[in-house]
Amino acid sequence: MSSLLRLLPIIAFVVSGVRAQMGCVAGAICTIQHPRDYNTGYAQQFSPTVSGTATTPVSSPPPSNAVRYWFPFGDSYTTTGFDPSGHLALPTVGNPLGNPPFPGFTGGGGENFVGFDTITYNKSTILTYNYAYVCTKPLSENHRLAGAETGLLRTYAYGGATINGTLVAPYLPTVLSLIDQVHEFLAGAGTKPVTSPWTSANSLFTVWIGINDLGNSFSEPGDRSAFSDLLLEEYFTQVQELVRRLQAFRVSTSRLFSPSLKIVANSAVGGKNFLFINVPPMERTPLMIAGQNATGLALLKSVILTYNSKLATKVVSFKANNTGVKTWLWDAHTEFNTILDNPTQYGFVDAVSFGNTGDFWGNNYHPSSPAHQIFAQQISALMAGTPWF
């Protein structure tokens, strides 16, 4: 795998305004060379000391008839730095994002779509548990940050996260994949503790992932279309866990069965409302433009289009196979292209600058806060009339 692909998640988090000196070597797929220790920059930028003093989560539940819950999963496009472990503040009516302080730690700097939709474009009070993580145990066991909460929002998304770390390795082995994020949710807020009394009716689950999976693997050999199928199979196995999961129990009353026989049955988790977001045109990021030649950019574009088409089909099948489930798909790919094709109409300087006021890109791989505000408006419009927006 090229050095560019391994550096992507790290370079993507470089503080706004830092301009990498990137070069392209000969060949169909070009790579980026840069001497900076991005691990050091990453660790400094997302130091958990910014979160303040740890607090004990409230023991009494919020008024369930007055709030809605949001559980985002994904990567750096979604994360707010929320830690769902309970060591820091959990979302409450007066602090809907929980920890860290608003707007949290985001990929492009400043408020992202999670913050905007939790605080600004919401119709009701939303508590957001953001399982999209910025960084985890990579620095130490005590330096885990996990997502944002607004209203009652928990973000389970991770910066640099992939769907399955075995299929596409993240930039650090300690970054939590979608599989890990879902398992964390199931062991935490998924149990519906007194601090998070969500229901199927008042909870929204969002998944925005695939950016790192494709960005880190598009130039690998083999059938990329078949690999997208494999990624999406893993993806929807996890989504299915949020609706119902298989569990074993013992039967001890029937003469036909041994008391020790394990029977597999469905156990409801309760997720019924799902917002899916597809992969943006990553070939238009400043990072990729600087590090890939025309052949590489065309290949990445093709891989993303194929993946997004398959994702849309999987969303339809998922809804059909789960009675009572509602789904929404925000077409980030189309919306990014619309803005980048006409940047000045949306208040941006151009389609490639990053890190400064008026730029669409907050850094060389992540949209800026003003761009995220547009995304948030579009998502709230897509879901207008729902309990959340």
Beta-bridged to residue 273, according to DSSP, are 326
Distance between CA atoms of residues 159 and 134, nearest Å? 4
List all residues 6 or more positions away from 40 whose beta carbon is below 8 Å from its beta carbon: none
Distance between CA atoms of residues 160 and 162, nearest Å? 7
- Between strands 152-156 and 125-132, the pairing is parallel
* pTM for the full predicted model: 0.77
Distance between CA atoms of residues 159 and 145, nearest Å? 10
pLDDT band at residue 371, thresholds of 50, 70 and 90? very high
Beta-bridged to residue 268, according to DSSP, are 244
Alpha helices in the chain (DSSP H): 3-11, 38-45, 113-119, 178-187, 211-215, 224-243, 286-291, 294-320, 332-341, 369-382
What average pLDDT is seen over the chain? 77
Torsion of CA 40, 41, 42, 47, to 10 degrees: 90
Q: Which two tokens stand for residue 150?
A: 């607004």
The yes-or-no verdict on residue 48 having pLDDT over 60 is no
Which pLDDT belongs to residue 261?
Answer: 35
- Between strands 244-250 and 262-268, the pairing is antiparallel
Residues 227, 213: contact at Cβ < 8 Å? no
- Cβ-in-10-Å burial (0-12, 13-18, 19+) of 316 comes to exposed
List all residues 6 or more positions away from 376 whose beta carbon is below 8 Å from its beta carbon: 113, 115, 116, 117, 120, 121
* Angle (CA) 334 124 191, round 5°: 90
Residues 118, 129: contact at Cβ < 8 Å? no
List all residues 6 or more positions away from 341 whose beta carbon is below 8 Å from its beta carbon: 351
Which pLDDT belongs to residue 145?
Answer: 33
Could you report the per-residue pLDDT of 213-238, keeping only the tens digit for each? Answer: 999 999 999 999 999 999 999 999 99
Could you report the per-residue pLDDT of 303-358, keeping only the tens digit for each? Answer: 999 999 999 999 999 999 999 999 999 999 999 999 999 999 999 999 999 999 99
Q: Which two tokens stand for residue 6?
A: 């391994």
Task: Give the Cβ contact number of residue 268 at 10 Å.
Answer: 10
Which pLDDT belongs to residue 52?
Answer: 31
- Looking at per-residue confidence, does 172 or 236 come out higher? 236
Mean pLDDT is lowest, of 148-152, 204-208, 339-343, 361-365, for 148-152
